[in-house]
Amino acid sequence: MNYFDLTETEAYRKLCAYQKEKPELKKLLTPEAVKKYIAPAGKELWFSYAGKGITPELLELCQSLASEQECIAKYKDLLAGGIANKGENRAVMHHLCRSAEGLPTSGKSASNAAFYEKEKKSFYEFADKVRSGAVKSSTGKLFDTVVQVGIGGSGLGPKALYQGLYNYCQADRVTPVLKAYFISNIDPDEPLSVLSEINPETTLFILVTKSGTTLETLSNYAFVKEIIHKRCPAVTLEKQTVTVTAINSPLDDKEQFLAVFHIDDYVGGRFSASSACAGVLVSLAFGPDIFSRFLEGAHYSDILALNERAVENASLMDAILDVIDVNIRHIPVEAVIPYSAALAPFVRHLQQLYMESNGKPAPYATCPVIFESVGTDCQHSFFQQLHQGKVEMPVEFIGFKHSQLGCDIQYKGSSSQNKLNANLAAQITAFALGRSSTDLNKSFPGGRATSLLYGERLTPETLGSLFAHFENKVMFQGFLWNINSYDQEGVMLGKELAKAALDMDNNDSPILQSYYSFF
């Protein structure tokens, strides 16, 4: 396979020339275009991209760019266990946590898929025992609460998954539903706040760190242990703790902890929602069937992402259109806005997924700065800037026909869900068409790009497809930009300096010492 910088491709040069002559969005966005430019994105999930201003010529150039950068061939190589994370000389196998069925695996990747299946079976069996009451707390009480202690992908993804499915499980009468809390921030106020909400005698803790040495996570667990020992000395915390860690890490100790479940180096933190990192918590909180359905939706999207035709491959088309915004239209920002309150933690997870994966050194801009919020709240905050500010910010919307809980009222001729979706449709239309006025304050330029992921209802399958769609979009963008989406060296420098600041007697940075002296 060839590895070219984006700007070395013939398709890039043609796209730059096309952009100079491209018709304006106001002329291209017709009812026919809205109906035509749609691709399946997952289980009951579709991608509408007419709001990007599409022409047949543009689609040909998008296909040429995908082919020239060998996006599908590189995806297949990744699935077969190729070294996709070249910075750390590792394969990338989070797709295989969902399922290997229908994917072009090799002996190596199939072996890892079997390992993930084994671990999944193990934490499914454990979750069933906890939920049935066969496994109890160290004081003999039934568990009714779960607390996950982990940082980065060990917190953001699992929290997004839990919050995204909580209302669905309430509405569909999944029982029991265990309440979940999350501790990730090293700020001592966070664990104290969580501990004030729970009963230690009925709470199961999940300690997540692949290396078993993550300083923030271990510090938070030590904090929790000390406070619980003071407040509730009858609790033996380790016997109410399961760990999710690598084989042979310091936390891989079934004698010390209630249970241990494994992850490996081939599943990166921000891509780990399909693994035990989120699977243990979701299986405990809602049951293994709910997590299995989430994986089914994710796998469905992984299969769709193998399509060579960009117009039928939602994650690939989404990736290419964003690259055009960044590198040809020179727009350094993007917003991702779900019109579903349940997805508020999900878009915070996406911020990490995008920016930690693709905010990498290159001869050109790569990942845009990601703004995230939930509609309709953001219409009353930063949307003013999006509509009338000088700098355009493309928006990717997410919306659903039906709410999760299904409870609604009629007020002034429409339901709340109708009003929510009317606002979503209105925003897309306003961004594209704008409004002319002799009063500058009431004039909207329009011509501002949007895309939309939409479905019937936010279900476990749909949420799985959303996770996979964006993971695969980020992957394809990495191929297009010729960067490594799977390491995070930019995170490491700050960690190293933080350790140095704590060792004031031995660090030799006067600037670091000066700032830390404030505290």
Question: Are 206 and 242 a contacting pair, CB within 8 Å?
Answer: yes
Report residue 261 as tokens: 């479940």
Q: Catalytic residue at 356?
A: yes
Among 356, 372, 396, 461, the one annotated catalytic: 356
* Beta-bridge mates of residue 410: 415
Q: In sequence order, which ranges of 80-214 are alpha helices (DSSP H)?
A: 107-132, 156-171, 189-195
Distance CA 415, CA 452 (A): 22
The SS3 of residue 287 is coil
Among 20, 27, 380, 390, the one annotated catalytic: 380
* Nearest residue to 342 (alpha-carbon basis) of 152, 160, 153, 158: 160
What region, left, alpha or beta, does residue 413 occupy, with left being phi > 0 and alpha being psi -120 to 50 degrees? left
Q: What is the DSSP letter of 342?
A: G
Distance CA 387, CA 225 (A): 50
* Nearest residue to 172 (alpha-carbon basis) of 286, 299, 296: 286
Sheet-wide strand order for 203-208: 179-183, 145-149, 203-208, 241-246, 259-263
Distance CA 238, CA 506 (A): 35
| Cα-based distances in Å from 29 to 167, 426, 448, 459 | 35, 14, 11, 30
Q: Catalytic residue at 495?
A: yes
Q: What is the DSSP letter of 210?
A: S
Question: Are 53 and 25 a contacting pair, CB within 8 Å?
Answer: yes
Question: Are 22 and 61 a contacting pair, CB within 8 Å?
Answer: no
What region, left, alpha or beta, does residue 287 occupy, with left being phi > 0 and alpha being psi -120 to 50 degrees? left
The SS3 of residue 213 is coil
Report the alpha-carbon angle 286-290-293, nearest 5. 170
Question: Are 1 and 73 a contacting pair, CB within 8 Å?
Answer: yes
Distance CA 479, CA 513 (A): 41
Report residue 242 as tokens: 């399961």
Instruction: Determine how β-strand 203-208 pairs with β-strand 145-149.
Output: parallel
Type of residue numbered 359: G
Among 26, 401, 495, 499, the one annotated catalytic: 495
Q: Catalytic residue at 387?
A: no
The catalytic residue positions are 356, 380, 495
